[in-house]
Amino acid sequence: MKDIIILGIESSCDDTSAAVIKNGELLSNVTASQAVHESYGGVVPELASRAHEQNIVPVVDQALKKAGVAKEKLSAVAFTRGPGLMGSLLVGVSFAKGFARSLDIPMIDVNHLQGHVLAHFIQEPEVTKETPKYPFLCLLVSGGNSQIVLVKAYNDMEVIGQTIDDAAGEAIDKCSKVMGLGYPGGPIIDRLARQGNPKAFAFSKPNIAGYDYSFSGLKTSFLYFLRDRLKENPDFIEQNKEDLAASLEATIVDILMKKLRLAAKELGIKEVAVAGGVSANTGLRNAFLDHARRYKWNVYIPKFGYTTDNAAMIAITGYYKFMDNDFCSIDKPAYSRVSIG
Ligand code: KG4
């Protein structure tokens, strides 16, 4: 049988990434992250697009070299079509179109969020990995999304709960900014939280119906709490940053797990996965392991390299679509907003 070799391209936000998957197995995954945004305390879309333009050719080149695959051997090019920053997406989408055209091979458009969920199916050479069994629940938590996805098949996903305002990662990043810490806040809060007391402070938790989330109230309560304490003690943050981080992290993990527990119980599902940038968080990963013990869940926690944006997840999604002859035409535009379903 002829080898199926997919080149995946991801450029939805501030990571330029390319990956090669052969017959479902990952051969390379190369990512160029953009440090340029750090001094701005957030991703600057214009700068992100420019950096993608600089990075995309060398990143694809490296991914192919590392995989030991000549471009003429590729079966198809899979690319992130959305959601994401329009300027960033356009770089990857346009590159994919030009590259596929020049090689006269098909293109496969991939939903970035679907890619995050399917990151659990990335297989590496000589590593046997358990993959979730359908149907499973996936908690998808990133800087832009906080949702519970019911995954019935690789191409059949339903969002059963989502944030009605801020995403969990966005809340962490904003609270970290208020504390005067760097960007992105997630890894900094995670590091500090390991040395703090998660019960030191209590912040408000939302009371929302069903499986939906809300994080804007927590953000405001955190802000007001700090403002009041700083009036009494200008060094409050510096003296309590570990406890603040630990308490904030514990509150967010608690909010996330409560709805996930409810969904798992009501739907009678014990296969539960987590995906997206925030799934790198130690407290959240520990909560999953704890739930596996307490509720007999089979939990799926991604490798660190597959938590944040990467092209391996785009390539594996592309591989499944290729096997289903699910291609896209050259006139398909990028889309900045789109749901997973
Ligand atoms: O999925 P992602 O790389 O990008 C999108 O938003 O699409 O997620 C980025 C988010 C940021 O909010 C970042 O602060 C958060 O993931 N994050 C973390 C950790 N690592 C990254 N949050 C908590 N703990 C971490 N260790």
CATH code of residue 234 = 3.30.420.40
Q: Tell me: do 46 and 68 sit in the same domain.
A: yes
Task: Confirm whether 341 is domain-assigned.
Answer: no
Instruction: Confirm whether 188 is domain-assigned.
Output: yes
pLDDT for position 38:
83
Strand pairing class (136-141; 271-275) = parallel
Same domain, 49 and 196: no
Per-residue confidence in pLDDT tens, the chain, 341 aa: 899 999 999 999 999 999 999 999 999 999 999 888 888 878 899 999 999 999 999 999 999 999 999 999 999 999 999 999 999 999 999 999 999 999 999 999 999 999 999 999 999 998 988 999 999 999 999 988 999 999 999 999 999 999 999 999 999 999 999 999 988 899 999 999 999 999 999 999 999 999 999 999 999 999 999 999 999 999 999 999 999 999 999 999 999 999 999 999 999 999 999 999 999 999 999 999 999 999 999 999 999 999 999 999 999 999 999 999 999 999 999 999 998 87
Residue 335 lies in a domain: no
Packing angle between helix 86-103 and helix 45-67, nearest 10 degrees?
30
Asked if 163 and 119 sit in the same domain, the reply is no
Q: Work out the end-to-end distance of the chain between its first and last CA atoms, rounded to an integer number of angstroms.
A: 33
Indicate whether 180 belongs to any domain. Answer: yes
Same domain membership, residue 112 and residue 153: no
- The domain containing residue 57 runs over which residues? 5-128+306-323
pLDDT of residue 128: 87
- Please give the distance, rounded to the nearest whole angstrom, from the Cα atom of residue 329 to the centre of ligand 1: 32
> Do both 206 and 271 map to the same domain?
yes
Atom of ligand 1 nearest to the CA of 170: 12
Q: Are residues 228 and 317 in the same domain?
A: no
Q: Is residue 34 part of a domain?
A: yes
- Judgement on whether residues 245 and 144 belong to the same structural domain of the protein: yes
Angle at 317 between CA 99 and CA 136, to 5 degrees: 165
Q: Locate the ligand 1 atom nearest the alpha carbon of residue 15 and give its number.
A: 3
How many domains are contained in the chain?
2
C-beta of 83 in contact with ligand 1 (< 6 A): no
Helix (H, G, I), strand (E, B) or coil at 136: strand
Which residue in this structure is represented by tokens 């679907």?
A: 114
Closest alpha carbon to 289 in 250, 257, 244 = 257
Looking at the structure, tell me whether residues 198 and 89 fall in a common domain.
no
**Residues 42, 174 contacting (CB under 8 angstroms):** no
- The position carrying tokens 């060094």 is 235
CA dist 42 and 45 (Å) reads 9
Examine the domain organization and report whether 89 and 150 are in the same domain: no
The secondary element (H helix, E strand) that includes residue 76 is: strand 76-82
Indicate whether 337 belongs to any domain.
no
The two structure tokens encoding residue 113 = 């969020």
pLDDT for res 79? 98
Whether 69 maps to a domain, the answer reads yes
Please tell me whether residues 124 and 176 are part of one structural domain: no
Q: Which atom of ligand 1 is nearest to the CA of 184?
A: 14
The pair of three-digit structure tokens given for residue 81, joined into one six-digit string: 């079509």
What distances in angstroms separate CA 49 from CA 20, 93, 106, 145, 283, one per listed residue?
A: 23, 12, 25, 21, 33
